[in-house]
Structure 1
Amino acid sequence: MTIIEKAPAKINLGLDICGKCDDGYHELEMIMLSVDLNDYVTVTERSDHQVVMTSNSHRMPHNAKNDVVKAAELIRSRYGIKQGVTIDLEKRIPICAGLGGGSSDAAATLRALDKLWQLNLSKQELIELGFAIGSDVPYCLEAGCAYIAGKGEVVEPLSASLSSWVVLVKPDFGVSTRKIFKEIDVDSITRVDIAGLKKAMLTSDYDAMLSCMGNSLEDITIMKRPFIQTIKDRMLAAGADIALMSGSGPTVFALCPTAKRADRVYNAMKGFCKEVYKVRTLS
């Protein structure tokens, strides 16, 4: 038996750092939105007891260091599964890009194995498994448009739609999320109006949404990688309504109301950076 699951990329319309917890993690508030750039996870039963990962990408580990394998081993140990599985990961989302590719892949693996092994796991069980792998995985289990809080374990789907073209630009370097979070000073970091953004999304007030969007991590990442600001400036000059870093970076996304405007931004960035994508939002 074989199951195929789509794993969409995400962008952060808003990311705010609310404080630091006693365990060292940060308390967050975010609005996330899926976009139509997808990895694909295919799981197939094996006749032995092994978990084997294959992929079209060799820029990441294919062993227990990969969140896809972690997801498989976690669900097997939690529910006493002896059956082996081959997991094939078709990568299309850039790696170490702030687009949640690894988390989305792990979430897709959990969904696929739940179906393959007919576990019929509840939403809460899947969230608990996902959070044990990474803070973005609970959101990625359902994706779409959602409000995220706490350390990532609070996920509130939003009945909001944003029909927009998105241009993604990934520079030819990665960013370590762990290193960026170590630089956070909760007393001086730029705050983002997540409550205002959430209200604007729910009332479909596009202009209010643009005015509330922001990313508390931008200043830290741009200080380390000033080229990100250059990308933002170039996208805005080409006609983007807004250009904002996603997650801890380094990918910058631009929102454009029409395909024609998105083409203009896309063409301005193509050649300036190697990895440029024109996609749609998935609400």
Structure 2
Amino acid sequence: MVLFEKAPAKINLSLDVLGKRTDGYHDVEMIMTTIDLADRVRLYAIEQDRIEVSLESRYVPSDERNLAYKAAVAFKRRYGLPFGVHIHIEKNIPVSAGLGGGSTDAAAVLRGLNRLCSFGIPEEELADLGAGIGSDVPFCVYGNTAIATGRGEKVEPLASPPSCWVVLAKPNIGVSTRTIFQQIKLEQLMHPNTKEIVHALSNKDFEHMCSSMGNVLENVTLTLYPEVQRIKDIMKHMGAPGVLMSGSGPTVYSLVENYSKAKRIYNGMRGFCQEVYLVRLLG
């Protein structure tokens, strides 16, 4: 039996850091939503009692460093597996891009193994298991639109955003989330108004949503990587109404209601950046 799981990317409508935790992580408050840019995860049983991961990407390991592999190991330890499993990942989400590519693959593996084994494990349990793999994994288990707090493990669903297009542009660099968080100066952060974004989502108010979006990691990443600032400036110059960096970067995205305008921004960005995408919101 072969199962397929869609593993959609996420973008941050907001990302706030509230403080440093005693366990070394940071307390965060993030509003995330899924987009129609996705990896495809294929799972099937094998006779050997082992976990295998395959993918065609020279930037992503297929061994125990891979979050999808870690997810399968965690699932096996907690629930057991009556067989070995092979996991193949078709990568479409850029790597080290702030779009949750590794986390969404891990979440897809947890959901897929649950289906493959017919265990009927509730999503809440899978999300709890995912919290030990990565901070964004619990959100990715649920998908849609949600606010995540704690270090990302506490997830509450929110109203979906108003329908719109998303233009994403990733400069040809990778950004380490750990490095960005290490550079944060808590006393200098300009916190986004998370409540206003929640209010805008509830009212399906596109303009209010765009004007309220914020990411406290932007100043750190933009200082370390000026090319990210350049991408953001170009998008704004093209008239994009909502422009923000996702996660720790370096991907910058724009929310656009009108397709023809979104297509124009997409075409314009392709002259400045190799990796540019035009997709819909899923959340």
TM-score w.r.t. the length of structure 1 is 0.98
Letter in 2 for 1:89: I
Deviation at 1:238, TM superposition (A): 1.2
Distance 1:109 1:200 in 2: 33
Aligned to 1:17: 17
Q: Give the conservation status (yes or no) of the 8 Å contact 1:239–1:264.
A: no
Give distance in 1, aligned partners of 2:90 and 2:80: 28
2:174 is paired with a residue whose SS is coil
| Aligned match of 1:202 | 202
Instruction: Report if aligned partners of 2:165, 2:279 keep a CA contact under 8 Å in 1.
Output: yes
- Counterpart CA distance in 2 for 1:21 and 1:69 is 27
Which residue identity lines up with residue 75 of structure 2 in the other structure?
I
Provide the C-alpha distance between the structure 1 equivalents of 2:245 and 2:104, rounded to a whole number of angstroms.
18
Correspondence 1:104 to 2:104: yes
The answer to whether residue 144 in structure 2 is matched with residue 137 in structure 1 is no
2:47 is equivalent to residue 75 of structure 1: no
Q: Distance in 2 between matches of 1:129 and 1:282?
A: 24
Partner AA of 2:9 in structure 1: A
Q: Secondary structure at the match of 2:59?
A: coil
Mapping for residues 1-283 of structure 1, pairs under 5 Å? 1-283=1-283
CA distance in 1, matches of 2:276, 2:44: 32
Letter in 2 for 1:24: G
Deviates more, 1:198-207 or 1:135-144: 198-207
Q: Report how many residues are paired.
A: 283
CA contact (8 A) 2:144 2:160 kept: no
Equivalent residues of 1:76, 1:82 under 8 A apart: no
1:53-109 CA distance string (max 9 Å, x none): 111222211001000100011111112325111100000000000000100000000
CA RMSD of aligned residues (A): 1.0
- 199-208 vs 106-115, which moves further: 199-208
Deviations 1:1-54, CA, capped at 9 Å, x for gaps: 111000001100111111111112111111101110010100010011011111
Counterpart-to-counterpart distance in 1, 2:96 and 2:194: 25
Distance 1:281 1:165 in 2: 6
SS of 1:27's equivalent in the other structure is strand
Preserved contact between residue 244 and residue 254 of structure 1 (Cα < 8 Å) = yes
In 1, Cα distance between equivalents of 2:159 and 2:195: 15
Question: CA separation in 2, counterparts of 1:199 and 1:29?
Answer: 15
- Partner SS state of residue 132, structure 2: helix
Give the partner amino acid of 2:168: L
8 Å contact from structure 2 (residues 68, 106) kept in 1:
yes
Separation in 1, partners of 2:26, 2:52: 34
CA distance, structure 2, for counterparts of residue 163 and residue 178 of structure 1: 33
CA distance in 1, matches of 2:272, 2:93: 19
Q: Which stretches in structure 1 are left out of the alignment for 5+ residues?
A: none
Percent of aligned positions that are identical: 47
Structure 1 distance, partners of 2:82, 2:62, is 20
Q: Select between 216-225 and 159-168 the one with higher mean Cα deviation.
A: 159-168
- Counterpart of 1:250, as a letter, is P
Whether the aligned pair in 1 keeps the contact of 2:36 and 2:280 (CA below 8 Å) is yes
Q: CA deviation at 1:196?
A: 1.2
Deviates more, 1:40-49 or 1:264-273: 264-273
Contact kept in structure 1, 2:162 and 2:205, CA below 8 Å: no
Deviation at 1:123, TM superposition (A): 2.2
Larger displacement relative to structure 2 (102-111 or 154-163)? 154-163
Structure 1 stretch displaced more, 185-194 or 166-175: 185-194
Paired with 2:123 and 2:111, the residues of 1 have a C-alpha distance of 10
> TM-score if structure 2 supplies the norm length?
0.98
Between the aligned partners of 1:140 and 1:190, the Cα distance in structure 2 is 27
Q: SS of 1:268's equivalent?
A: helix
Tell me the SS of whatever aligns to 1:115. helix
71-80 or 214-223: bigger deviation: 71-80
Counterpart code for 1:197: I
